[in-house]
Amino acid sequence: MSTNMKVNIAGVEWNNPVTVASGTFGSGAEYSDFVDLNQIGAVTTKGVANVPWPGNPTPRIAETYGGMINAIGLQNPGIDLFVERDIPYLKQYPDTRIIVNVCGKSTEDYCEVVERLADQPVDMLEINISCPNVKEGGIAFGQDPKAVEAITKEMKKRAKQPVIMKLSPNVTNIAEMALAAEAGGADALSLINTLTGMKIDVNRRTFALANKTGGLSGPAIKPVAVRMVYQVAQAVKIPIIGMGGIMCAEDALEFIMAGASAVSIGTANFHNPKVTLEVIEGIRQYCEKNGVKDINELVGCVK
């Protein structure tokens, strides 16, 4: 028996339910020696802004128990170079969907990128609302439900592709943010982004990161991520892409059973470049062993 591994996210069909987390895979070229990109359901690109961003000062990565903390600061070459270089590269892999992660410091920044991508051959847009909103004193867009709904509406007005809103876990009530994005017209949600963390270098008696705080990712955050995906799945009717500490097929299956239609693998790529293919194969083997004819049967099966 062969299992149907195809999933449909907001009208876009993926060959399997696995993508990569933004910022951990570049735009694919860095991993092409290790991974046949045609075998991944979708590639989610590094964040793209309207102009090049230099990112934060170094040091900006620190290893921590069960994961890592990063304060890269969304360094990226900007939309012009992305359109010229990265989209043509990814179009060489016709079986793989292209999801562009969009970042900005104001609603206008996001709008500019989304409008530039309107006529580009990309499949979906993932809007990173963990960015600090400079006009609102630096609070992240994703930490205020009114701001979440407002920016989602603006994206939907301008986007030609389905819009995925990427939710920040650094909130009191994740379901409230998910409902705000759904109310704004989001086609899908992805969660969770990194949790805010800190590491201190006791030998130097200073912060391990120049930025003081950073985003914690890796297996340490997985139980929090699974819980949040489950809560959001109970609250909204739109598809969810689950992420946060996935290292193997069993981890991915937890997210799917909690309510995610697809999963995204991030930190694991850094120490095992082939992890995406191993997870896809592991999900397939689990389904065949357990008589699951269609991967979609498992989505949200744990109530």
Residues marked active site are found at 131
Residue 243: strand, helix, or coil: strand
Contact (Cβ atoms closer than 8 angstroms) between residue 21 and residue 264: yes
Contact (Cβ atoms closer than 8 angstroms) between residue 134 and residue 106: yes
- Contacts (Cβ under 8 Å, ≥6 apart) of 253: 283, 286, 298
The number of angstroms, rounded, from the C-alpha of 115 to the middle of its chain's C-alpha atoms is 21
The token duo for 79 is: 């939309």
Contact (Cβ atoms closer than 8 angstroms) between residue 143 and residue 179: no
Residue reference for tokens 């899908």: 188
Q: How far apart are CA 130 and CA 265, in angstroms?
A: 18
Q: Are strands 67-70 and 213-217 parallel, antiparallel or unpaired?
A: antiparallel
Q: How far apart are CA 126 and CA 220, in angstroms?
A: 24
What's the maximum distance between 2 C-alpha atoms anywhere in the chain?
59
Percent composition of the chain: helix, strand, coil (DSSP 3-state, to 5): 35, 20, 40
Q: What one-character DSSP code corresponds to residue 35?
A: -
280-283 contacts at long range (C-beta below 8 A, 24 or more positions apart): 280/5, 280/16, 280/18, 280/39, 280/40, 280/41, 281/249, 282/248, 282/249, 282/250, 282/252, 283/5, 283/16, 283/17, 283/18, 283/249, 283/252, 283/253, 283/256
